Structure formats: C-alpha cells, structure tokens
Amino acid sequence: MHMKHKSVDCISTFSTDEAEIAVNIGGVKLVLYGDVLNRYPESRLAELINCSTLNYDIIYSLCDDYDPGKREFYFDRDPDAFRCIIDVYYFGEIHIKRGICPICFIKEMEFWKIDQSYLDECCKSDLTEKEEELAEIANKVKLILDDLDVVPSVNRSARYQKFLWKLMEKPESSLPARIIAIASFLFVLVSSLVMCVGTIPEVQMEDDEGDLVEHPTLEAIETACIGWFTVEYLLRFMSSPNKLHFFLSFMNIIDFMAIMPFYVVLTLTYLGTAMMDLAKVQQAVQALRIMRIARIFKLARHSSGLQTLTYALKRSFKELGLLLMYMGIGIFVFSALGYTLEQSHPETLFSSIPQSFWWAIITMTTVGYGDIYPKTTLGKCNAAISFLCGVIAIALPIHPIINNFVIFYNKQRLLETAAKHELELMELQSSEDSMVKATRKSGALGALESSMRTSRSDNSIPLIEESTRTLKSKKYCSETESF
C-alpha cells in the first residue's frame, strides 16, 4: 500500500460528469466515469468523484490510500463483491453471485453506501434465510457461554437458582444433571409400564364390593413416580428465569397434565363423595386416569430425535394440510358414490352417506376392516378406485416430510458446528487482544494492535458481537479471580 502524500496535485475534473477516476479494489484496477457514478450521488464513489480537489482529509476519509502520481484510489475491499456492487450504476439492481456470503456482502454495500433496496428479490430471500441462521447460531453461542458460567452471579440466591436450572434442564452441563435426566427417563418408562400392567385382570384385585381395582403394589409404584414428577416440576418451576414462559411452554403443559390427574383423583376420592354420588365420582376418576397417557410425551424432553421429528412435522403443515384436504374430498366423493351405487342391492350395507364415510375412510387409508363392503359390480369398481386414490394420496407427501426432517436435522448439526467454530474464533480473538495489551504495556510492537484491528474490522458479525463481549468479560473475571 502507498503511504499518504500531501501533494497539491489532484484531479481537477472531479466535479464534472466527464471526469473519470481510477480505482484499485484489492488489486483489481478499474476506470469509472462521473456520469455513471453520479446516478447515485449518495454513494461513496460519487462523493469521491465530486469531492474538493484540495481537501485531502475528505479524500482519505473516503478511500484507504491515494496515489497522486497515478491518480489512483486504493480500497482494501473484496473485488468479487465490488463487481456485483458496480452493477447498480449500470443496471439499477444488484445480484449476489454464487460463493459470496450475503452477510459479508451487506457489509460491502454499507461501505460503498448503497441501499439494500437495490438487491434483487431472490438475493433478499437468501439474505433473510442467512440472517435467521445467524440468529440461531448467536442464540446457541449465548447458550454455550451461559453454560460456561465463569462470571459469578450477583447474589447467592441467583447463583443457586442458575445452578438448579442447569441441573434440571441441561443434562450436558454436568454429571449430576445427566444422572437426573436418566432417572427422569426411567421414571417415565416405569410409570407408563405400571399404567399398562395395571389394566390386566389377572394382576388386579377385588375390593370389598367385588369390583376389580389396581394392585396396591402398582399403586405404590405409581405414587412414587408421581412424587418424582411433582418434585421435578416444582424444582424446574422455581429455578426458571421466566416463570410465565415456563408455565405456557407446550412440554411443561404436558408435564402438568401428567401430574394433575393423580391429585384430582385423590381429591375426588376423599372429598368428592360428600358433594356428589359415588358412581359419578368413579366415572370421573376413570376419565382422569386415562389422562395419565400424557406422561409418555415426557420422553420427548430427553430425546433429541423426537424433538427433531416434532419440528419437522411443524414445517410440514402445508404438505399435511394438502393430504387431509385431498383425503377429505376423496372420502366425500367415494362415500356418496358408494351409497348411490349400492342402493340397488337388497342387502346393501350402505344405509346413508354419513354412515358410508366410515367405509371410505378405512378403504382410502388401506385399513379395510371388512365390516362394510360393496356387493354390486359398480360398487366394487368404486371401491377399487378409492383404494388406489388413497394409496396415491398417502404416498405423495411422504417424500417432502422426510426431506424436511433430513434438512432440519442436518441444519441443526451444522448450526451446532458453526456455534462451536464461532466460540473458537472468539477465544482466538480474545487471546489476540490479550497479546496486544501485553505488547502495549511493554511499549513494543505498537503497530500490531492497529493491524489486528484493521484485519478484523469488516469480519465481525453484529449478532455475535454481544457474545464476544460476554466471552471477554468472562475471561476478564476469571483472570481477576485468579489474582
């Protein structure tokens, strides 16, 4: 790079449309004309070509260096990105070429003072997707930094609350947390197994009135499991940083529904007889016991695969909606045809169109119980067509749903890898800053700090800068604690 000169010689034709300037973008030389650059007068190049001929301060504020002898302006920028940006002066829009990071390209547009509205629509969609991915990476980085827990909490109660939250919610944070997660998983399995075994007549016992009831041993195991679930839920609620968000979370609602029937049954059993008939109490108890099946969904809390499948199904609502709409139309059409075609047979099983819905459902879903079936030739042809249409309808959305699952699973793995990579870069950056401070204290290599700052000035990601500052503060706190 050339050093700055204070020569009076400069370009005397900057303020005219016939002026031309030579620019050097990262080693690539270009000649640009004033009539083209002045189409966007607020851009950096237009300001450069219209600046005062003797005002070197403005010139050096707009470019990295200037050679008066060659009349050439130097910019330490990406030449590939500049080739895309220069298109706005000629075509009025910008298209990001393949291989250029959209986030870095936006920084280039900000440097050249080009508004983002000139981006092509396809590039805007790619930019939005990249920003969402970057936000997810930033959130993962913040979660990892929070798990490091180097900075001590403000007070003892906050420190205990954070420790308890990590113990109950983050199995990967420590060995005790992993043990608690495994124990919770086993309690869910045991509770579900007890619920199933308790319905076997050979295992049940007769009460004083001769009715079959659950075995006392199974009831004791069920009580112990509910006690564990209750303590776990209360500890997680007490340690939650956001109580309202915790209470409204879907998985926490499932946990509450798995616990609540047990205590409602106890209340109805010991207090309900005084307010209502015993038969009604028993019916309510049986209905609430069915709600115990909700606890099987607690397994999703400890399985990343089930969570990924849930997110993939959420992203496949459009395909599932099309399937349900197609199946609904087919069920209505084929049930109406089946009822009409079977009316001529004296022993028809199609008594009405609503009753024919059941036949259409089990036929199109390839279940075929055989309780309702056509007896006429045309009715059998209608059944064959409905069967084939059902097979096609079910097979069509399978590939998009599986594809969404694979894409989301691979994306989560890539995001985790990217988050770890960002942490490594942040640690390297913090170590470089420590080295710069050490050299500054020793009074040697003063230019090292400016060169590092220049090399990183355009590579920082705004969404992760806060996480970088957090890592630096944590490292600083750990160093001060060591002193």
Write down the H helix ranges in 396-458: 398-442, 447-456
> In angstroms, rounded to a whole number, what is the distance separating the alpha carbons of residues 362 and 390?
10
Write down the H helix ranges in 21-113: 34-37, 44-49, 56-62, 79-85, 87-91, 102-111
Contact 174, 167 (CB under 8 A): yes
Contact 116, 106 (CB under 8 A): yes
> In angstroms, rounded to a whole number, what is the distance separating the alpha carbons of residues 49 and 46?
5
pLDDT in tens, the chain (483 residues): 444 443 334 444 444 455 788 889 988 888 888 888 888 888 888 888 877 555 677 788 888 888 877 778 899 888 888 888 888 888 888 888 877 877 788 888 888 988 888 888 777 777 777 777 777 777 766 766 666 554 555 577 887 888 888 888 877 778 888 898 888 888 888 888 888 888 888 888 877 777 777 788 888 898 898 899 899 899 989 988 888 888 888 778 878 887 887 887 777 777 655 555 555 655 666 666 666 676 677 666 666 667 777 777 777 888 888 888 989 999 999 999 999 999 888 888 898 999 899 999 999 988 888 889 999 999 999 999 999 999 988 888 888 878 877 877 777 777 777 767 766 777 777 777 777 666 655 554 444 444 444 433 344 444 445 544 444 444 434 443 343
* DSSP-derived 3-state class of residue 265: helix
> In angstroms, rounded to a whole number, what is the distance separating the alpha carbons of residues 58 and 209?
99
> In angstroms, rounded to a whole number, what is the distance separating the alpha carbons of residues 245 and 247?
6
Q: CB count, 10 Å around CB of 59? A: 22
> In angstroms, rounded to a whole number, what is the distance separating the alpha carbons of residues 135 and 137?
5
Classify burial at 429, counting beta carbons within 10 Å of its beta carbon; exposed 0-12, middle 13-18, buried 19 or more: middle
> In angstroms, rounded to a whole number, what is the distance separating the alpha carbons of residues 34 and 182?
70
The secondary structure of residue 96, as a DSSP letter, is P
What is residue 435's predicted lDDT score, i.e. its pLDDT? Answer: 73
Tokens of 181: 């997660």
The secondary structure of residue 115, as a DSSP letter, is -
Beta strands in 128-231 (DSSP E): 205-206, 212-213
> In angstroms, rounded to a whole number, what is the distance separating the alpha carbons of residues 419 and 408?
16
> In angstroms, rounded to a whole number, what is the distance separating the alpha carbons of residues 156 and 167?
16
Torsion of CA 310, 102, 413, 135, to 10 degrees: -60
Long-range contacts of range 230-238, CB-CB < 8 Å, 24 or more positions apart? Answer: 230/259, 232/168, 232/184, 233/259, 235/164, 235/168, 236/165, 236/168, 236/169, 238/161, 238/164
What is residue 1's predicted lDDT score, i.e. its pLDDT? Answer: 40
> In angstroms, rounded to a whole number, what is the distance separating the alpha carbons of residues 95 and 97?
6
Tokens of 142: 């913040």
> In angstroms, rounded to a whole number, what is the distance separating the alpha carbons of residues 26 and 79?
6
Q: CB count, 10 Å around CB of 320? A: 14
pTM score: 0.55
Distances from the Cα of 440 to the Cα of 144, 426, 475, angstroms: 31, 21, 19
> In angstroms, rounded to a whole number, what is the distance separating the alpha carbons of residues 437 and 444?
10
At a CB cut-off of 8 Å and minimum separation 6, what does 104 contact? 78, 81, 458, 459
**Which of 86, 140, 85 shows the shortest CA–CA distance to 107?**
85
> In angstroms, rounded to a whole number, what is the distance separating the alpha carbons of residues 213 and 195?
12
> In angstroms, rounded to a whole number, what is the distance separating the alpha carbons of residues 474 and 60?
38
What is residue 334's predicted lDDT score, i.e. its pLDDT? Answer: 94
The secondary structure of residue 474, as a DSSP letter, is H
Which residues face 212 on adjacent strands? 206
> In angstroms, rounded to a whole number, what is the distance separating the alpha carbons of residues 359 and 348?
13
